[in-house]
Amino acid sequence: MGRRRLPRRGWIVTTLSLLALMMVPASPVAANPVVEPVAADPSVVRAADGMYYMYTTADDWGDGQGMHNMSMFKSFDLMDWMYVGDVFPDLPEWHPEGKLAWAPHVLESGGGYSLYYSLYDESNPCIGLATAPGPTGPWTDLGRPVFCAQDVGIEGTIDPFVWDDGTSKTMVVGNFRGIYAIPLDGDGAAPVGEPVQIADDRFEGPFITFRNGYYHLFLSAGNCCNGGDTAYRVVVGRSRSLTGPYLDRKGQDLNEGGGALILAGSDPWAGPGHNTVVTDDAGNDWIVYHAIPRDDVTLPSGAQRREGMIDRIVWADDWPDVGDGSPSSTRPQLPDTDLPVRVSLTADDSTTLPENGGTIAATMVVAAPEDQPYAGQVWASVTPPDGGISDPIFGPIDVDLAPGEVYEEPISYAVSADAPNGTYDVYAFAGTFDTETVEFGALNGVKSGPQMTDVAKRVSAVVWRDGA
């Protein structure tokens, strides 16, 4: 393989993935989404290891694996995401058969991690809780609800968000039956006070940030799931108190018809909403949410493509603005994360392969930051359909780059005609092989039989033969 060192002209981080229907990142500079094909109701937390972790609602990705019961992803830079498993590979005993978990909210708490989630039932929806020593588990369910709607005397106990100020915990919850703040006990495992309504019945998906003395309440309005016609959108109000009143820019109470619109659909994207807010290493805030591509609404599983998105928030007079108010309108801005190196994989040729297999050809780009050198190792590996990570298909090799220097390497992976059905992720890594990864990128391609043509439109390398 030939190798080139180039003067740096600017790096592009791309996470794609060689995998059928896996949630895989698209090119961050070119466009959203950052996670495909489904990443509904994302919750993002920065863990003690410095990485970002994302958690999403249960969904059927259309990958032949059935329902994924809340999925987990990790990223160094908020743009390139790697699937790392499901929160509940086995259903907790108290969950009714067929009821999967929605709308996770994760926070670091007491040296571990707490994951609150919705368990929907039309007559008595409940909030659950699982805890783990680390951001990817193993997750231990509480074994009972934190509370259900009938326990607290409200109807819409869906979409939990927990505010933890270090001394007390308050759950903010609700979906189109009013948004309520409910005090929790010290363990965050039971209600200990009366609900206080902080927004009316037009909203769901609450998320709160605190800035310059104001609590900012982000809410989603409209139907989340009406395909390309959905009018889901994000509005904001702010208050000096966690329990309100929350007012919009005009001073109107969110309990009385108020709400400042900051993000709505566009020609390419429908229904942006159910957001979280995360901060990069430069102190910039980013709104992470899901939206539906109007030109490709539904997976063969019947699930909507509520894809993972990210855009920059700019604060003006302590009010958040998102570009022109539509998805992707803050591009080409990208999160600023302190990484020792940047890694990307980009396709050299078509990544759609015939049923008899072929080779995915790519270029790995390793770029040192402008202000510091990078010395370490780089390699590439594959995640096969049965899980795990392969031995390196390239490297590991040592690189020693001056500030701003770029190293390029051609990478290829052959998918044989008799390769097993399923998904294949190809990742390029930097760090110290087998002990420490400091950055990664990925590429996707498709080996597609007729069953996979639609689902694999933007995603990974698929092996799915007729009759399988």
Residue 428 lies in a domain: yes
- The pLDDT score that the predictor gives to residue 357 is 74
For 309-319, the pLDDT digits (tens) are 999 999 999 99
Same domain, 66 and 214: yes
Total tally of structural domains belonging to the chain: 2
CA neighbor of 166 nearest in space, from 107, 239, 237: 107
Does residue 218 register a pLDDT over 90? yes
In a domain, residue 280? The reply is yes
Q: Is there a single domain that holds both residue 99 and residue 231?
A: yes
- C-alpha count within 13 angstroms, C-beta hemisphere, residue 186: 2
Whether the bond between 420 and the residue before it is cis, its omega within 30 degrees of 0, is no
Q: Are residues 142 and 261 part of one domain?
A: yes
Q: Element (H or E) spanning 152, and its range? A: helix 149-152
The DSSP line for 342-374 is EEEEEESS--EE-TT-EEEEEEEEEE--TTS-E
> Measured on CA atoms in the order 193, 199, 200, 201, is the torsion positive or negative?
negative
Active-site residue, from 59, 63, 204, 280: 204
149 phi and psi, to 5 degrees? -55, -45
Q: Is 150 helix (H, G, I), strand (E, B) or coil?
A: helix
Tell me which of 320 and 357 has the higher pLDDT.
320
Write the single-letter amino acid at 130. Answer: A
Looking at residue 124, its amino acid is N
User: Residue 259's domain spans which residues?
Assistant: 43-322
Q: Do 247 and 356 fall within a single domain?
A: no
Q: Cα–chain-centroid distance for residue 134?
A: 18
pTM greater than 0.85 (yes/no): yes
Residue 325 · residue 358 · CB < 8 Å: no
Considering 36, 41, 59, 425, which one is annotated as catalytic?
41
- Predicted confidence band at 36 (pLDDT cuts at 50, 70, 90)? confident
Q: Domain holding 49: CATH number?
A: 2.115.10.20
Q: Is 421 found in the same domain as 312?
A: no
User: Quick one: 358 and 309 in the same domain?
Assistant: no
- Phi first, then psi: give them for residue 449, nearest 5 degrees: -85, 175
Tokens of 350: 């078509």
* 229 CB-near residues (< 8 Å, 6+ apart): 270
pLDDT tens readout for residues 42-65: 999 999 999 999 999 999 987 767
**Residues 431, 379 contacting (CB under 8 angstroms):** no
If one compares 241 and 32, the residue with the highest pLDDT of the two is 241
Q: Is there a single domain that holds both residue 307 and residue 162?
A: yes
355: annotated active-site residue: no
Instruction: State whether 171 and 228 are in the same domain.
Output: yes
CATH number at 384 reads 2.60.40.3880
Report if residue 237 sits inside a domain.
Answer: yes
Domain for residue 22, yes or no? no
Q: Looking at the structure, do residues 407 and 270 belong to the same domain, yes or no?
A: no
Position 144 in a domain? yes
pLDDT value of position 111: 87
Is 59 one of the catalytic residues?
no
pLDDT of 31: 59
Q: pLDDT value at position 385?
A: 66
Q: Are residues 282 and 368 in the same domain?
A: no
Quick check: is 272 in a domain?
yes
Choose among 341, 343, 440, 431: nearest CA to 382.
440
Q: If you average pLDDT over residues 122-133, what whole number do you get?
A: 94
In a domain, 2, yes or no: no
Tell me: do 91 and 232 sit in the same domain.
yes
List, in order, residues 6 or more apart from 248 with CB less than 8 Å away: 235, 236, 237, 254, 258, 259, 260
Beta strand 319-321 with 307-316: parallel, antiparallel or unpaired?
Answer: antiparallel
Count of other CB atoms within 10 angstroms of residue 134: 13
